[in-house]
Amino acid sequence: MERHRCSVILEVEAKNKQMELMSSMCRLMFATAIILAAHQFSIYSSHPIGVCYGLNGDNLPPPSEVVGLYKSSGIEFLRLYEPRSDVLEALRGSGIAVALCPKNEDLAHIAQRPGAADAWVNTNIAPYMNDVLFRWIILGNEVIPGSLANYVPAAMANTRHSLAAIGLANVTITTVIPGNALESSFPPSAGAFSSDITDVMVSVAGILATSDAPLMINVYPYFAYASNPSQVPANYALFTATDPVVTDGSFLYFNLFDAMVDAFHAALEKIGYPDLKVGIAESGWPSAGNDPYTSIGNAMTYNRNLMNHVLQNGTPRRPGKLMETFLFAMFNENLKRGAVEQNFGFFYPNKDPVYPFW
């Protein structure tokens, strides 16, 4: 009888322990599910949109306030055109993904001497790498075509090696090229690189392809429209056309942005890289400086439609391929040349919005 009672007690204790274990496992599974859900939310709620932070102004707010404005506006990417220690200090702990460019005048040194690439990385990246989210390093801002073009492939290769040496092998290495890198661009399927830069572009594309990195391009429908309004309809430039404006074989173009991007896609196809990704390093519309083509209404319409477009659509040649995109620019910059160039900003230097957007 005593043995039976002990047996019952042991059985009850065993069941209690089993229930406690099951309860612990359920709590663990529940917590894990929450963590996974939060992780998935963080992935799918992020947007491949950034804003270029130009500093060509003598009345701009301090970098700490600018970083705060990026965060309060929900802007997740920031492009910086040269290493600025005050900006990099302000970016510590911000969580903003940063695209950083060496100065173009440093490109030859970085290309010709691996030690120069090491020095640049150790000066401008390594001191901040634990607190600043470096996502892109851009070697050459619109230097192809030009006298510095031939330095770009070696500068990219040397900088990649230098980043790997400090544990940042996953940072994207790329370059930015302008529209005049194309010898022809209309219709989009005729897109081709200028003959004098074809060899450089083959080398650049080969480097990008090895790490699945995008070629970054600057795309400005505004300039095409403002320079030739009789041939470029406003609705085609502003994403507001409801019918196709250009037909290129089986591809229908409702907006000039897609046509300009697809000209680059066609050019990459012609040099043997049909699958290379393209990203947008700059695109925007000025709010003043060249009436009637510049206006707050046009700037707001273009930038809003551009952002919605790149978040949801690819281009006719690359349907479904979303592009990492930087809008230009954060502020109106009073030291830039000409009234148009001074009025691309989303914000005035006092941080008031030029128009409601963010």
What integer pLDDT is reported at residue 47 of this predicted model?
57
What integer pLDDT is reported at residue 12 of this predicted model?
40
Q: Does the pLDDT of residue 71 top 50, yes or no?
A: yes
Range in 9-13, 51-55, 115-119, 335-339 with the lowest mean pLDDT: 9-13
Any idea what DSSP says for residue 314? -
3 state SS of 333 = coil
Any idea what DSSP says for residue 210? H
Q: How many Å is the Cα radius of gyration of the chain?
A: 26
Average pLDDT over residues 155-175: 98
Give the CA count within 13 Å in the CB-facing half-sphere of 174: 26
Per residue in 312-339, pLDDT tens? 999 999 999 999 999 999 999 999 999 9
3 state SS of 274 = coil
Per residue in 90-129, pLDDT tens? 999 999 999 999 999 999 999 999 999 999 999 999 999 9
Average pLDDT over residues 26-39: 37
Place of tokens 């925007």: 284
What integer pLDDT is reported at residue 37 of this predicted model?
34
Give CA–CA dist 14/7, Å, rounded: 10
Per residue in 265-282, pLDDT tens? 999 999 999 999 999 999
Which segments of 262-321 are extended strands (E)?
A: 278-282
Instruction: Between 228 and 5, name the one with better pLDDT.
Output: 228
**Would you name the residues annotated as active-site residues?**
142, 282
Give CA–CA dist 296/180, Å, rounded: 27
Q: What is the residue extent of each domain of the chain?
A: 1-41, 49-347
Q: Is the peptide bond before 329 cis (omega within 30 degrees of 0)?
A: yes
Average pLDDT over residues 207-222: 97
- 297-306 burial: b if 16+ Cβ within 10 Å, else e: ebbbbbbebb
Give CA–CA dist 95/40, Å, rounded: 17
Q: Which CATH superfamily is domain 49-347 in?
A: Glycosidases (3.20.20.80)
Looking at every residue in the chain, the average pLDDT score rounds to 90
Q: Is the dihedral of CA 306, 311, 313, 314 positive or negative?
A: positive
What integer pLDDT is reported at residue 100 of this predicted model?
98
Q: Is 326 exposed, middle or buried, given 0-12, 13-18 or 19+ CB atoms closer than 10 A?
A: buried
What integer pLDDT is reported at residue 33 of this predicted model?
37
With CA atoms as reference, report the closest residue to 330 among 71, 47, 45, 46.
71
Average pLDDT over residues 237-261: 98
